[in-house]
Amino acid sequence: MNLHSQCALVLLVVHASGVAAQKSSAQELTMMGQASSSQDMQEFEPLELARLGIDYMRQRAIKEAGNCFSHVLQSHDMAAKSKVGRYYFKQQDYATATVYFQQSGSGFYAGYDVACAWSNLGATYIKLNNLPQARECLERSTMLFEGLANKDDVDIKQDALLATFNLGLVHWQMGNHYESWECWASVAEHSYCVQSLQIIAKILLKSGKFDDAVRVLERMHKMKEVPTDVSADVANNLGVIAYKKSQVEQARQYFIRASELGHSAAQKNLKKLQSQTVAKGPCTIL
């Protein structure tokens, strides 16, 4: 994987206000759809219109979806705008996603929703390969998260760390490796950031930064609540790195650990270790 393709690994915040909203039933969506053609749509909550618009998009009813989304944009409901933005992000329509995330982060309110909006806007700019703009958005997001009174809440902390992770990704792609590692070091302190740590380790391995990769991998190796397949990948990669550093016995121990967890590549590496021909390069982490 080349450096540019790392953009595909960017993580998007799905903030609590969006998650907490209940999904409309099929009957409710039908009733709303019928009303949208005969009544003023202003009577519906923006979040309901966002869900209805997304449902229309899935049915390829573009005109009806556009009608819903236009009302969402005219509203002051940041959660509704973020929901539509995340939909377009997942559809890889990043230009449209930026419109909704920009709207979500506008105004003078500096709370949790706005911090999430700036984080998602930064993630979208990474996809658009606009790294300076992505950095500006993510720096603003991390600053807003840091200013929250309840910033130590677990859910909020995880969202803040996603913004920090993406900021590190931007720095890495801009060649600011020291700054990127500063960001990622703060992420690596938290055991619930397994996905972020996997991506960080993969970037470092592919870039030949073995010592830094080992720091991340060893951190993951010591975690207690890590999925078995992830633990196996981590152990195998630590084994490959140890072998590359001529630490044969340490490599063997890692391969044994990974093999016991059912990792097929580690089992092959363990056999090849006998003839000093360990498979080239680390296996894919993700």
What is the mean pLDDT of the segment spanning 51-75?
A: 84
User: 185-208, pLDDT tens digit by residue?
Assistant: 788 777 667 777 878 888 888 788
Predicted pLDDT of residue 130: 95
Contact 173, 3 (CB under 8 A): yes
Integer angstrom CA distances of residue 105 from 3, 82, 128, 137, 194: 29, 9, 18, 10, 28
Give the dihedral sign, CA 74/80/81/87: negative
Q: Which two tokens stand for residue 60?
A: 């390829």
Predicted pLDDT of residue 124: 93
User: 217-246, pLDDT tens digit by residue?
Assistant: 887 877 777 788 888 888 888 898 888 888
Domain boundaries, position 33: 1-190
Same domain, 25 and 162: yes
Same domain, 49 and 171: yes
**How far is Cα 95 from Cα 285, in angstroms, rounded to an integer?**
30
The residue out of 190, 217, 235 marking a domain boundary is 190
Q: Which two tokens stand for residue 182?
A: 């500063």
Predicted pLDDT of residue 281: 54
Confidence of residue 134 (pLDDT cuts 50, 70, 90): very high
The residues, any chain, with a CB within 8 Å of residue 89's CB and separated by 6 or more, are 12, 97, 120, 123, 124, 127
Same domain, 171 and 197: no
Give the number of domains in the chain. Answer: 2
pLDDT at 153 over 50: yes
Same domain, 57 and 163: yes
Same domain, 231 and 249: yes
pLDDT at 28 over 60: no
Computed over every residue of the chain, the mean pLDDT equals 78
Same domain, 103 and 38: yes
pLDDT at 6 over 60: no
